[in-house]
Amino acid sequence: MIRKDIKNGRVRQVSNQLGHAYQITGKVVRGRQLGRTIGFPTINVSYGRQLLPADGVYSVLVYHDGAFYPAMANVGTNPTVSDGSRRTLEAHIFDFDEDLYGQQVAVNFIDFIRKDRKFASVSELTEQLKKDREAARQTLSDNLR
């Protein structure tokens, strides 16, 4: 039942069932570095054979070096800027500017924000990411009281 909920993106329910947030751990690897060009730098997390939640945007907490950092994550194929052939896990950590390449992190999934989708342009994607960031901040605030 838990695996089915993960596959369907119901990470809040999974957290309730597990008693803690669903977590994926992995090393930060180099991506195409497109996020930084539009004001949303991301860390790309190598997840190996771990079960990814459904494609979409999530509010998450990234754990690194003894601290949790509020963030939003995208699981999916990045259809606006790629050919859609490979699923990735990437996270935009709010107000963070450190180089984490090669380091181990844990992405803790807090809540689902929206499904992944293709946008007509990169500027349309950027506007949606601004809304997603606000939604992620709000869900993190609501869920971590």
Give the total number of structural domains in the chain. 1
Residue 136 sits at φ, ψ, to 5 deg, of -65, -45
Amino acid 115: pLDDT: 94
Task: Return d(Cα 119, Cα 128) in angstroms, integer.
Answer: 9
Range of the domain at 80: 2-143
**Residue whose token pair is 């990411």:** 129
Amino acid 54: pLDDT: 96
Query: Which domain CATH number covers 9?
Result: 2.40.30.30
Amino acid 84: pLDDT: 67
Amino acid 86: pLDDT: 83
Any residues with CB less than 8 A from the CB of 111 and at least 6 apart, and which?
A: 11, 12, 58, 59, 139, 140, 143
Amino acid 82: pLDDT: 66
Query: Could you read off the pLDDT tens digit of each residue along the chain, which spans 145 residues?
Result: 999 999 999 999 999 999 999 999 999 998 777 777 777 889 999 999 999 999 999 999 999 999 999 999 999 987 776 666 789 999 999 999 888 999 999 999 999 999 998 898 888 999 999 999 999 999 999 877 6
